[in-house]
Structure 1
């Protein structure tokens, strides 16, 4: 599994992309394409959209999301269109509150703790401890035409809670097309299916005498 974190990931891109006034950072940051009011967090203290921040706010640790009853956490993230995902961006911690893994499920809108253990993630990554934003490259072929993504943190690295500061996505967005209206046309008329009109031969009108 390929993933970059810290010095090998977003850290190398910070000077290049994090320009003054550049809210997105990466040109393909999907922050504006996330349906933020409808982000759902399960077993969490706070609202899911708390960690859906702009690129310029990614290192802000004043706002975060933390698991509640135990160290498991689910975030359902809907998009406003169709997405081809390139990478996940994640800042978590500190130390043993960092999730051990992150599991991604494409287009699983209603997944919960009861059924998630029986489902195979579309892709899964180990999460290292660190203060930087990690960039996790996904297998793009498995994340095309995505309308939503469910992010599952199955356990912390020792603490009773899992804490997330920032969650972001990189990729391509396109407007979701409505279902097409299908009209069936008769490709070619079959003369045997049609009653001949008086005065017509093979569809051609007879000349007047």
Structure 2
């Protein structure tokens, strides 16, 4: 038991061995949008191996650091991936992992609710948000890239456009090992029904008239 004693006031020089910050990113299960992704409808343009884009999104959190499957670009370093959800979601952050090589993605454009993009339009249009993926170091865990939450409410799909990688133009293959999302699934609830019920229950909207009983109407002047 002695190895599990934690003294909250003792932070002087002992945190290094007692606290492994690599686990801090582990998302709560309810914040992962994994079960809300339509895996069969994921499309990836310029992927060297068919369905490899969908395969890295299908990796579970426990599989995130596995070397395979891996998404590789084909003709050049760019990738365009369209990922639809099963309903409306609020996306809070993107999770991405790549091997620590110059082939890791750098500039990432994100588009909300667009299923009509190709490389030309993705290059020309202003994205919903643009990010730079940090260059990974050996032994690094997943990068969590926070999004501007105000831009990602009522999201039904997200399109990721990888413009370039960390090679500076020397490597025309981009490689990605894992992509995931954290956010909130906008499940249907009864709040609107409750609101309508309360509004209809306003006594001022009813009259004591047997002919209108249960209808919730008003007697107009002159009736």
Q: Which among 111, 129, 136 is matched to residue 123 of structure 1? A: 129
Q: CA deviation at 1:102?
A: 1.4
| CA shift digits 1:162-202 (9 cap, x unpaired) | 1010000000002479xxxxxxxxx87878xxxxxxxxxx5
Q: Following superposition of structure 1 onto structure 2, how do residues 53-202 of structure 1 map, counting pairs within 5 Å?
A: 53-130=59-136, 131-158=140-167, 159-175=171-187, 202=222
C-alpha distance in structure 1 between counterparts of 2:176 and 2:188, whole Å:
29
Greater per-residue helix proportion: 2
- Structure number with higher strand proportion: 1
1:28 is matched with: 31
- Consecutive unaligned residues of structure 2, counting only runs of 5 or more, are 1-19, 190-216
1:12 Cα deviation after fit: 3.0
Task: Provide closer, same or farther for how the CA distance between residues 171 and 43 of structure 1 changes in structure 2, counting only shifts above 3 A.
Answer: same
| Equivalences for residues 16-55 of structure 1 within 5 A | 17=26, 26-45=29-48, 46-47=50-51, 48-52=53-57, 53-55=59-61
**Residues 78/176 of structure 1: CA separation in 2 closer, same or farther (3 Å cut):** farther
Q: Which string of whole-angstrom CA distances, capped at 9 and with x for unpartnered residues, describes residues 90-139 of structure 1?
A: 01244110112111111111111121112111111112221421000001
Distance in 2 of aligned mates of 1:106 and 1:189 = 49
Cα distance in 2 for partners of 1:14, 1:110 equals: 38
Distance 1:65 1:33 in 2: 21
Of stretches 80-89 and 112-121 in structure 1, the one that deviates more from structure 2 is: 112-121
Cα distance in 1 for residues equivalent to 2:124 and 2:135: 27
Aligned-partner Cα distance in 2 for 1:189–1:70: 72
1:62-88 CA-partner distances (Å, limit 9, x unpaired) = 211111110000110000111001100
How does the TM-score come out when normalised to structure 2? Answer: 0.69
Q: Which residue of 2 aligns with 1:14?
A: 23
Aligned pair count? 171
Distance 2:124 2:184 in 1: 30
**RMSD of aligned Cα (Å):** 2.6
Structure 1 outlier segments of 4+, above 6 Å:
187-191
